[in-house]
Structure 1
Amino acid sequence: MLSNIISCVLFGLDGEIVNVEADISSGLPSFSIVGLPDTAVRESKERIRAAIKNSGFKFPVKRITINLAPANTRKEGTHLDLPIAMGLLGASNQIASKTLAEYAFIGELSLNGNLNKVIGVLPIVISLRAKGYKKIIIPKENFDEARIIEDIEVYPFENLVEVMNFLKGDLKIEHSFNIETKDNHDRTYDVDLSEVSGQQGVIRAFEIAAAGGHNIILIGPPGSGKTMLARRFPTILPDMDIEECIEVTKIYSVSGLLPSNSSLIRTRPFISPHHTASRVSLIGGGKVPKPGDVSLAHLGVLFLDELTEFPKSVLEVLRQPMEDEEVTISRVNATVTYPSKFILVASMNPCPCGYYNDPQNECSCAPYQVKKYLSKISGPLLDRIDMHIEVFPVEYKELAGESKGKTSKEIKENIDKARIIQLDRYEKENIRCNSQLPPRLIKEHCKLGKEQNSLLETAFKKLRLSARSYNKIIKLSRTIADLDNSERIEVKHISEAIQYRSLDKNFWNI
């Protein structure tokens, strides 16, 4: 007898429907799974056999064939255990096939019949809903993650016996939808920008970067506070809305990194890889490509401390994700695309000893050593970073003083207002902040007067700016104007933006 069960497999963040076809026929006892299963799926035969027997059901001692359709795409993951088991129970007439047809099934089986938690449930549920499947049976441990999606019925169970009792009508379970409002989850941080002594110029640059989603690099001597500042940058970022929360949670669900005590990630990610990280860990990869750090930092911050210590080949792979805001990973088994809309925050010393251009300490490096050290950061990569900020050592009176600057909460209030202006402006453009503004829309949303154009022309020629730098200065000016609640981009906004793009000429033209 033939039985057909609906399930789903993931390719990146996108799901593809899988029809699990189970056929039981006369002949020598055997158990075959076809349809390009991976090792985890092939090994499911022994788990399923033991789970069915230990749950008190009959395992058919006949010729069993499981086909995973479509047969030309590779299937991977232990979440196909439950649909295969239900296919066998349906094909052996232990449950009506008509009943099974109403549901999609996801779950890994243990030998005693319990349903174990699987990764990637959230994107699977979203994909099933998009394909028109409204009733999904999942492991109980995945319930909080799955029930944040509206317009779908999710039924959680602890074991195979419960699933069968529910399908036969002997067990009643009410599906529920639960997504608490963001207001009930106020963000709390252990750090605050008010703890930083001095460095008001850098904090102002952070305010602009957070308001417009701009990349930023900090260059300065050791002990000037670069890392301390960078680790406080997330405290002033705007809150994520529900759509953004779900988008980030999908990535962490696929990666198996979703916290056990959280069904939805509500704070923007802050990813800080060590400088020994490889290209694969940064971009993503593997036999079946998984998200890398650039995707785990999606809608958040990717912080690269000691930038020049990263291998140049590793840094160069950042260029495409920074430009396209997505990364495509091609392997023999699959080609997947993951989003990578992150704010890059980088910090570095200006030379091997760290004191080049430092007013307080003398640099011991020869000019060629400084040039060789800075050449680890290529021009194309530097050109993609919107703001170049020099960080100077803090004076003693600022360290010993009791006066404090604005708190992160106070700075964030101004940033939130600027973001609201941008969301309203780009409501029809499918972009959220000024850094995402494409060249075709710059002239429409960033109109410049005669004085502004004259100033920008002078800077373009004197600083030998690229076309990309020209566009980034305009977008920076737009953000500064938004922070001033100004509809027009004034000369002062252009002037401030230019100073954030001129620092590289002081170092890389030595």
Structure 2
Amino acid sequence: MISRVQSFVLRGIDAIACEIEADLSSVGLPKTTIVGLPDTAVKESTERVRTALLNSGYRFPQTRLTINLAPADVKKEGPVYDLPIALALLRADGTIEPSADGRPRLDTFLIAGELALDGRVRPIKGAISLAMLARDENVRGVIVPRANAPEAATVDGIDVFGIETLGELVAFFNGQAQLSPHETIDADTLIAEAQPAVDFGDIRGQEAAKRAIVIAASGGHNLLMLGPAGTGKTMMAKALPGILPRLTREECLEVTRIYSSVGAIPNGAPLMTTRPVRTPHHTASSPAIIGGGTNPRPGDVSLAHRGILFLDELPEFSRAVLETLRQPLEDGCVTIARSQGSITFPARFMLVGALNPTPKGAMAEDEVGRRAMEKYLARLSGPLVDRIDLHIEVPAVPYRQLTSKVRGTDTQTMREMVLSARQVQQKRQGRKPNGELNGRELDQMAALDESSRETLGSFMREMGLSARAYDKIRRVARTIADLERSERVEMHHVTEAVQYRLLDRLL
């Protein structure tokens, strides 16, 4: 007899429908075979399922078993198939009876879960993607481990059933017990403001840098901070999340799908409700940053989606790693190609880089120091620097400011400025921030008058700026105008924007 149970394959962050077929045959010696491109974890599921069935009071069929995972040309990974395989075997040997008298049908649910040896059901990766697949496939509902139910229940339009044990589910399909759908989670009630580790008011001095950070946060611009060691670059990067707008519901779901696919959602949190911040070490490899693997998984650029990717000591990262940032900075996504196909991960993040002027961390004070600075900064390629909107200097703070009891501009004040500018942008162009405007949109929304064009043109010729830098300057100027609630981009907006191209002058 052949039985069928519906489950899923997680490919990147997307769920693909997968059908588990189990056939029990009395012909031949007892043997269990799993086909359909299973990895080692899937092949090992035979022993987990066998022991879980026996410890739950059921028998494991002593016949020739063939378990097929379809489609057969897609790699199957992980222990998510333990539960559907166990159910397929129990249905094939008659332990789960055919549906009748209104009992739930096994083939109307998408089911996934890892089995412990005592029959408990352990959490899985990708539960929210499974729920989205179920909604799109118009099935009755999904059955997942209870720990994953709150996450899956954030998807509207689908019933989510969370279970603790295999026996609980068998009783449900035999009509001996009832399961109630998990209450739908209202994402809007969970979205919260980030609680920054540092308040900008605690950072002495650096008012010019704070101004640039407000501009960057207001327009979603990438930011590079150059200055000697101990001037507050890292502290300001840690404080930055506190001035960014809240995630929208759609953005929460986007971020949650990514974190769910790698099993990185914090315990007890059904959704990622604050903007993620990723701070990889400078020894990180390209796959760790960009993503990779045989079955590609997201890297830090995708885990920072809708949030911040902070790269401290930027020149210390390998050249290969830094060059991989070009595509996500330009396109807001990253594509990883493999022989079986390519997978695209979202990667719309705000890049914040910090660097010292020299390896010793001090500013150049003589000709030798200037040569050392030029050599150190040459580790950054021109095309990468081109893709960063604002380059600012973070100078050493005078002793008088360090010991002053007067607080500088604080997080609350800066946040209000950012939200005001974002409201202007939303009214004009929807939810797309200025940092994502293309050339045609800039021509419409950041048009320059004749004198501003001439001034910008002279800067371009003097500094040897590229066409990409030209658009970056216009985007930043548009954001500065929005902070002043100015409908037009004026001359002083352009001149301030040009000042934030520090590395173009140094490289």
**1:228, CA displacement in angstroms?**
1.5
Deviates more, 1:179-188 or 1:26-35: 179-188
Which residue type is aligned with residue 121 of structure 2?
Answer: L
> Which residues in structure 2 correspond to 1:334-483 (within 5 Å)?
335-357=342-364, 362-363=365-366, 365-427=368-430, 432-483=432-483
Change (3 A) 1:183 1:109: closer
Deviates more, 1:411-420 or 1:201-210: 411-420
Q: What TM-score, normalized to structure 2? A: 0.95
**1:227, CA displacement in angstroms?**
1.3
Alignment of 1:297 onto 2:304 = yes
1:66-86 CA-partner distances (Å, limit 9, x unpaired): 111111111112111111111
Change (3 A) 1:442 1:410: same
Separation in 1, partners of 2:86, 2:415: 52
Aligned to 2:32: 31
Which residue type is aligned with residue 488 of structure 2?
Answer: R
Separation in 1, partners of 2:312, 2:98: 57
> Which residues in structure 2 correspond to 1:70-149 (within 5 Å)?
70-98=71-99, 99-149=105-155
Separation in 1, partners of 2:231, 2:63: 73
Aligned to 1:20: 20
Deviates more, 1:440-449 or 1:209-218: 440-449
**1:183, CA displacement in angstroms?**
7.0
Separation in 2, partners of 1:478, 1:300: 22
In the alignment, structure 1 segments of 5+ residues that lack a partner are: none
Separation in 2, partners of 1:506, 1:180: 46
Separation in 1, partners of 2:44, 2:190: 45
Change (3 A) 1:497 1:367: closer
**Helix, strand or coil: the match of 1:221?**
coil
Q: What TM-score, normalized to structure 1? A: 0.94
Aligned to 1:57: 58
Separation in 2, partners of 1:329, 1:128: 26
Separation in 2, partners of 1:90, 1:47: 18
Deviates more, 1:116-125 or 1:324-333: 324-333
Alignment of 1:221 onto 2:228 = yes
Of 163, 166, 179, the residue aligned with 2:169 is 163
Which residue type is aligned with residue 47 of structure 2?
Answer: E
Aligned to 1:307: 314
**Helix, strand or coil: the match of 2:81?**
helix
Alignment of 1:48 onto 2:49 = yes
**Helix, strand or coil: the match of 1:274?**
coil
Separation in 2, partners of 1:43, 1:447: 63
**Helix, strand or coil: the match of 1:232?**
helix
Of 324, 327, 333, the residue aligned with 2:331 is 324
Deviates more, 1:330-339 or 1:160-169: 330-339
Identical-pair percentage: 44
**Helix, strand or coil: the match of 2:186?**
coil
Change (3 A) 1:366 1:390: closer
1:241-289 CA-partner distances (Å, limit 9, x unpaired): 1111111111111111111121111111111111111111111112221
Which residue type is aligned with residue 253 of structure 2?
Answer: I
**Helix, strand or coil: the match of 2:108?**
coil
1:338-379 CA-partner distances (Å, limit 9, x unpaired): 11111111111112333335xxxx458354433221110111
In the alignment, structure 2 segments of 5+ residues that lack a partner are: 100-104
> Which residues in structure 2 correspond to 1:253-292 (within 5 Å)?
253-292=260-299
Deviates more, 1:312-321 or 1:192-201: 312-321
1:445-479 CA-partner distances (Å, limit 9, x unpaired): 22222222222222222221100000011111111
Which residue type is aligned with residue 96 of structure 1?
Answer: E
CA RMSD across the alignment: 1.7
Deviates more, 1:401-410 or 1:489-498: 401-410
Change (3 A) 1:343 1:186: closer
Separation in 2, partners of 1:50, 1:304: 47
Separation in 1, partners of 2:199, 2:3: 59
Aligned to 2:102: none
Separation in 1, partners of 2:173, 2:427: 48
Kindly tell me the number of residue pairs found equivalent between the two proteins: 500
CA contact (8 A) 2:4 2:22 kept: yes
Which residue type is aligned with residue 263 of structure 2?
Answer: G
Change (3 A) 1:251 1:184: closer
Deviates more, 1:365-374 or 1:74-83: 365-374
**Helix, strand or coil: the match of 1:191?**
coil
Separation in 2, partners of 1:270, 1:48: 39
CA contact (8 A) 1:356 1:363 kept: no
**1:405, CA displacement in angstroms?**
2.1
Separation in 2, partners of 1:190, 1:390: 23
**1:334, CA displacement in angstroms?**
5.3
Alignment of 1:240 onto 2:247 = yes
Separation in 2, partners of 1:185, 1:452: 41
